[in-house]
C-alpha cells in the first residue's frame, strides 16, 4: 500500500502543480470575459438610449399624423360641401335656361 502511495505521490504533485500553473490562464480568461461583459453592458446602455429617442420621435410623429388626418378630413368635408353648392348652382342655371326657351 505504501509503495502505491509513493508511486502515486509524484503524479499527484505534478497534477497539483499543473493545476496551479493553469490558474493564471483561468484568471486571464475571467478578465477577458469581464471585459466583454462590460463592453456588452455599454452597448445595451447605448441601445436603450437610442430606443428611447426613437420612441420619443415616433410619439411626436404620431401626433403630427393625427393632426394631418384631422386637417385632411376637414378639407374633404369642405370640398364635399363646395361640390354640392356647385351642383346646386349648375342645376339652377340649367332650370333657368329651360324657362328662357
pLDDT tens column, 26-60: 788 888 999 999 999 999 999 999 999 999 999 88
- Kindly calculate the radius of gyration of the chain based on its CA atoms and give it in whole angstroms: 42
Instruction: Please report the pLDDT score of residue 48 as a whole number.
Output: 96
Is residue 10, in this structure, part of any structural domain at all?
Answer: no
Residue 101, domain extent: 35-101
Q: Count how many domains the chain has.
A: 1
Task: Record the cell numbers describing residue 50, joined without a space.
Answer: 437610442
Task: Record the cell numbers describing residue 40, joined without a space.
Answer: 456588452
Is residue 2, in this structure, part of any structural domain at all?
Answer: no
- The yes-or-no verdict on residue 91 having pLDDT over 80 is yes
Q: What is the mean pLDDT of residues 63-88?
A: 93
Please provide the size of the chain in residues.
Answer: 101
Instruction: Please report the pLDDT score of residue 95 as a whole number.
Output: 73
What b/e sequence results for 34-65 when a residue is b if at least 16 CB atoms lie within 10 Å of its CB, and e otherwise? eeeeeeeeeeeeeeeeeeeeeeeeeeeeeeee
Q: How far apart are CA 61 and CA 67, in angstroms?
A: 10
Amino acid at each position: 500500500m505504501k509503495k502505491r502511495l509513493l508511486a502515486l505521490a509524484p503524479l499527484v504533485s505534478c497534477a497539483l502543480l499543473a493545476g496551479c500553473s493553469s490558474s493564471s490562464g483561468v484568471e486571464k480568461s475571467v478578465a477577458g470575459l469581464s471585459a466583454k461583459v462590460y463592453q456588452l453592458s455599454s452597448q445595451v446602455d447605448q441601445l436603450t438610449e437610442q430606443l428611447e429617442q426613437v420612441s420619443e420621435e415616433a410619439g411626436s410623429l404620431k401626433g403630427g399624423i393625427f393632426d394631418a388626418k384631422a386637417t385632411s378630413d376637414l378639407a374633404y368635408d369642405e370640398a364635399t360641401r363646395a361640390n354640392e353648392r356647385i351642383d346646386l348652382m349648375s342645376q339652377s342655371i340649367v332650370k333657368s335656361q329651360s324657362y328662357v326657351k
